[in-house]
A and B are shown apart, each in its own frame.
Chain A
Amino acid sequence: EIVLTQSPGTLSLSPGERATLSCRASQSVSRSYLAWYQQKPGQPPRLLIYDVSSRATGVPDRFSGSGSATDFTLTISGLEAEDFAVYYCQQYGSAPITFGQGTRLDIK
């Protein structure tokens, strides 16, 4: 099973700043099958990024994904109020599908 470790656990930033979230895999993620989700309280997760760097439909271009093999990054440039949430990475290249433990992005 591929274990995904996200860091930091909590990130406190101000609106307008740049957020950099990390996801490290215990082994190489097959076929770049790495996604990022955003979850707000009381809501289901929302797909932001798939295949490492492809934005899902309707996702603003301030969200971008990068990385390869075992190290991946979600970058949010110019934080807006609605971006403060919990973010999860997910690998779907190897069974079982696994998620990271999440990074909470808080308003500073």
Chain B
Amino acid sequence: EVQLVESGGGLVKPGGSLRLSCAASGFTFSSCSMTWVRQAPGKGLEWISSISGNSNSIYYADSMKGRFTISRDNAKNSLYLQMNSLRAEDTAIYYCTRRGITVPTYDYWGQGTLVTVSS
């Protein structure tokens, strides 16, 4: 069974940093591109960043470029998101998602981790 479990969320002050993790299981992690998507309270979905299976291709939304860094450790079946210079508008649930092996979009999602940026 495919499982994605995020961790690392919490309360952080504006300007602070946070590192999110996503533990994957139930599939060959290194074969799948992975993505972070966020959802502000009561709002819609926003794509943040994607990384290919071998980390050779990395993409960011323009609004996050330079502040957020995606990475992965295939030996640990883990995905990461380093978030720096956090702002109030970064407050959201952050989801880890998998691009499917036979399905060309996000077929499995974690339950999400809540990041709150507030003084």
Chain A residues in the interface with B (C-beta under 8 A): 33, 35, 37, 43-47, 50-51, 54, 56-57, 88, 90, 92, 95-102
Contact = CB atoms under 8 A, between A and B. Distances in A.
Contacts of A98: 47
Contacts of B44: 88, 99-102
Given A37-B45, A46-B109, 14 more contacts: A33-B104, A44-B111, A44-B112, A47-B106, A50-B104, A50-B105, A56-B107, A88-B44, A92-B105, A96-B47, A96-B61, A96-B62, A98-B47, A99-B45
Return the 5 tightest CB-CB contacts between A and B, nearest first.
A44-B109, A99-B45, A97-B47, A92-B105, A35-B105
Interface residues of B, number: 20
A43 B104 CA distance: 22
B62 A56 contact: no
A99 B110 CA distance: 18
Contacts of A33: 104-105
Contacts of B103: 47, 50, 54, 56
B47 A88 contact: no
Contacts of B106: 35, 45, 47, 90
A46 B59 CA distance: 23
